[in-house]
Structures are given as C-alpha cells and as structure tokens.
Amino acid sequence: MKIALITGATSGIGEATAETLARLGYNLIITGRRTQKLLEVKSKLIELYHVKVLSLSFDVRNRNEVEESLGTLTDEWGKIDLLINNAGLALGLDHIQNGNFDDWDRMIDTNVKGALNVTRIIAPMMCAQKRGHIINMGSIAGVQVYENGGVYCASKHAMHALTQSMRIDMLKDNIKVTEIRPGMVDTEFSIVRFHGDKEKAKKVYNGVQPLQSDDIANVIEWIVKLPEHININDVEIMPSQQADAHYTVRN
Ligand code: NDP
Ligand code: 8X3
C-alpha cells in the first residue's frame, strides 16, 4: 500500500485530498495544528475506507516540532510515496504601507518556511528510496499579484519558484514534483484571511460559483493515477467565472 503525507488535512483542500487518497487505498499521515479535528478526520477515514492513518499534530512553522514528528517516523510510515505540501494561509488584505507585521510573519513562515521545513525532512527519505512525488499547493497568486495581497502573493511566488527548483534538484533521484495553482476555492481560507469574520469571507464568493475542495482533490487523483513515466509540472485550475487574479464575472 502506498503512503501519502498531507499537511493541513484538518480542513478544506487537505481534508478533501485525504479522503480521496484514502478512497484510492493510500495509508495516510495527516497533519495540522488542530488535534481534535485531526482525530475526527482520522476516525472518518478509517471507518469509511479501512486504511491506516497516522495523525500528527504540529505547527509547520516550528522546525523542532516538524523534526520531532516527521524525523522519527518508524519503518512502517517512513517510506512515503507522496507528500502534499498543502498547509497554508492568507492573513489580511492591506496595502504594503499599512501591512501588519504579525500577518506577514505568519504567511511567510507557514507558506514558505513551513513547506521547506517539511520537505527538508521528507525529501531525503524519498531520494534514498529513489521514488516519490511531491505536490505543492501553489495558487494563481503565485504567478500574478493583486492589490492588497502583496505578501500572500509573494509567499505563493516563492512556492512557484521552489517547486521548479525541487524538480531540478531531485530529478536524478527520480522524484516527481508538481504544483497546483487554484483560483477561488470555497474553504476556511477566506475566514482565516479575515481573522474569523465570516460575513466578510462570504462576500468573496458573492455571485460566483467557486471551486470546491473536492474539485482540487479530483485533480490530485488524476495526477497520482498517471503512469510512473509521466509528471504533471503544474496545473492552474480556476472557477469558470474567474479568468485570473483580476477578472471575475459575478451574477
Ligand atoms: P483552509 O483554511 O481550509 O485549510 C488550511 C489548512 O492549513 C488547515 O488544515 C490548517 O490546519 C493548515 N495550517 C495552516 N497553518 C498551519 C500551520 N502553521 N501549521 C500546520 N498546519 C497549518 O484553506 P485551504 O484548504 O483553502 O488551503 C489549503 C492551501 O490551498 C493553502 O496553501 C492555500 O494557500 C491554498 N490555496 C487556497 C485557495 C482558496 O481559494 N481556498 C486558492 C489557492 C490556493 P490547522 O488550522 O489545523 O493547523
Ligand atoms: C488563494 C486565491 O486569489 O485569494 O490563493 O489569492 S487568491
């Protein structure tokens, strides 16, 4: 049975992807900070799909926690086939000149350094076994910028650059690296961005049919089912009503 590690599996895209991979028969390592939510996801996956699930609660920003959780995996769990670097967030919508330092730190430390912290532990294991696939959750914000989103966009531009670098660096070790760049997906993302203001978050999707987490999970299913000799470098996936970061038609 294959093993997949998904960061940020307590909600949204990560949770949907965990369910999809469980349905495909993967044993799963699911991670996130919310221990109780992780345990609920774990129970659901075991009950519905009868796969093995290891839930590890840690903050991807905390290098010690990442090392303690992932650097000590037993033989049973250490042979990871698929890593999905999904944990991430946006915080605030401000012009740079008014930006909040704490929001900036959290975005950069989570989206960029968090993914690096996890990759630095898992990638050597994959390279040693000469087999593995890393899927990075980028964003349309990784190739375009928009007003008030400067630091989030910068963090996803970093993810875009890192994905390309990882693919080159691990080419000789037979590691496939893919980036997924969604547009609007209806998850907890906007609630987090607006620091818990659900009304404000709802307005982001006014008059638009956004993507759902399952839409992204379906793309991941397609990617991981492809034959070994094929790698999808990147996929940009948008709601039909959204052309790019700037142009959206609303009903
Ligand atoms: P959610 O808020 O629903 O999920 C985010 C996940 O990331 C949660 O499971 C959360 O877990 C985890 N997470 C956040 N911070 C940390 C941390 N410091 N340590 C560990 N885990 C963390 O949002 P989405 O599902 O939408 O987001 C998933 C990814 O998709 C993100 O990288 C986001 O940037 C990207 N994306 C989202 C889009 C959208 O419109 N929704 C569009 C394009 C990309 P917990 O809180 O338990 O720690
Ligand atoms: C999330 C999509 O457009 O809010 O990455 O930046 S967007």
pLDDT digit string, tens, across residues 108-149: 999 999 999 999 999 999 999 999 999 999 999 999 999 999
Report pLDDT for 194. 98
Rounded to the nearest integer, the mean pLDDT of the chain is 98
Q: 86, 140, 235, 246: which to mutate for ligand 2, most atoms within 8 A of CB?
A: 140
The helix-helix angle for 12-23 and 35-49 (nearest 10°) equals 20
Report pLDDT for 82. 98
The average pLDDT across 170-181 equals: 98
Answer yes or no: is the C-beta of 91 below 6 A from any ligand 2 atom. Answer: no
Answer yes or no: is the C-beta of 157 below 6 A from any ligand 1 atom. Answer: no
What tokens appear for 2 in the block?
Answer: 């294959």
Residue 138 C-alpha from the chain's centroid = 7
Give the Å distance between the CA of 47 and the centre of ligand 2: 33
Can you tell me whether residue 95 is helix, strand or coil? coil
Helix/strand number for the chain, H first, E second: 10, 7
Q: Which of 63, 70, 48 is nearest to 3 (CA)?
A: 70
Show Cβ contacts of residue 196 under 8 Å, excluding neighbours closer than 6 positions. Answer: none
Report pLDDT for 125. 97
Encode pLDDT of 72-94 as tens digits: 999 999 999 999 999 999 999 99
Q: Distance between CA atoms of 19 and 48, rounded to whole angstroms? A: 9
pTM (2 d.p.): 0.98
* Tally of CB atoms within 10 A around 67: 14
Q: Which CATH superfamily is domain 3-237 in?
A: NAD(P)-binding Rossmann-like Domain (3.40.50.720)
Q: Which of 124, 118, 15 is nearest to 62 (CA)?
A: 118
Report pLDDT for 131. 98
Q: Which of 18, 104, 98 is nearest to 61 (CA)?
A: 104
Show Cβ contacts of residue 40 under 8 Å, excluding neighbours closer than 6 positions. Answer: none
Annotated catalytic residue, options 26, 146, 152, 205: 152
The average pLDDT across 13-26 equals: 98
Which residue CA neighbors atom 6 of ligand 2 most closely?
141
* Tally of CB atoms within 10 A around 2: 15
- Atom from ligand 1 closest to the CA of residue 109: 18
Answer yes or no: is the C-beta of 245 below 6 A from any ligand 2 atom. Answer: yes
Has 152 been annotated as catalytic? yes
Answer yes or no: is the C-beta of 139 below 6 A from any ligand 2 atom. Answer: yes
The average pLDDT across 4-19 equals: 98
The average pLDDT across 179-186 equals: 98
Residue 60 C-alpha from the chain's centroid = 12
Give the Å distance between the CA of 148 and the centre of ligand 1: 19
Answer yes or no: is the C-beta of 107 below 6 A from any ligand 2 atom. Answer: no
